[in-house]
Amino acid sequence: MNLQIENLGDIVVIGLREERLDAHNSTDLKSQMLNLLETGHTHLVVDLQDVRFVDSSGLGALVSGFKNATARNGALKLSSLQPQVQSMFELTRLHRVFEIFPNIDLAAASFQG
């Protein structure tokens, strides 16, 4: 999976540089998030700007990251969802679970509060 990882202070931004997040690549994302969490990076932002399509496996990987971050007293937040991806979160009611921000800067700033 094509990922771009960037540090903003103690926040790690995972940029998914893929058009699709599905059963083919979601396991890679899950592993990457777990690696970051296990090495002490517990404040994560997953940026979905390039993602046009997400299926239930992709949602499951993000849920896994969210649960693992929360279990370590951290947080996983999402940024830059395209409308069709946002609609998937609404369909599965996960928009009530995740903190979702319009861009990376707002997501990162939310950790300061």
Partner 1 sequence: MEERIELDIRVPNSTCYLGMIGHIGEAMARTLRDYHGDREELAYHLNLVLTEATANAMKHGRSQIPETPLRITITVAGNCLVIRVFDQGRGFDFAALPCQDEHNLPEHGRGLFIIRTLMDRVCYRKSNGGHVLEMEKKLD
* CA pair distance 37, 33, nearest whole angstrom: 6
Applying CB under 8 A, among 6, 84, 103, 109 the residue interacting with partner 1 is: 84
CB of 8 or CB of 63, closer to partner 1: 63
CB atoms within 10 A of CB 2: 11
**Alpha-carbon distances, residue 72 vs 31, 34, 98, 112 (angstroms):** 16, 11, 16, 18
CB of 59 or CB of 104, closer to partner 1: 59
Q: Is 64 in the site for partner 1 (CB under 8 A)?
A: yes
Binding interface with partner 1 (CB under 8 A): 19-20, 22-24, 53, 55-57, 59-61, 63-64, 66-67, 84, 88, 91-94, 96-97
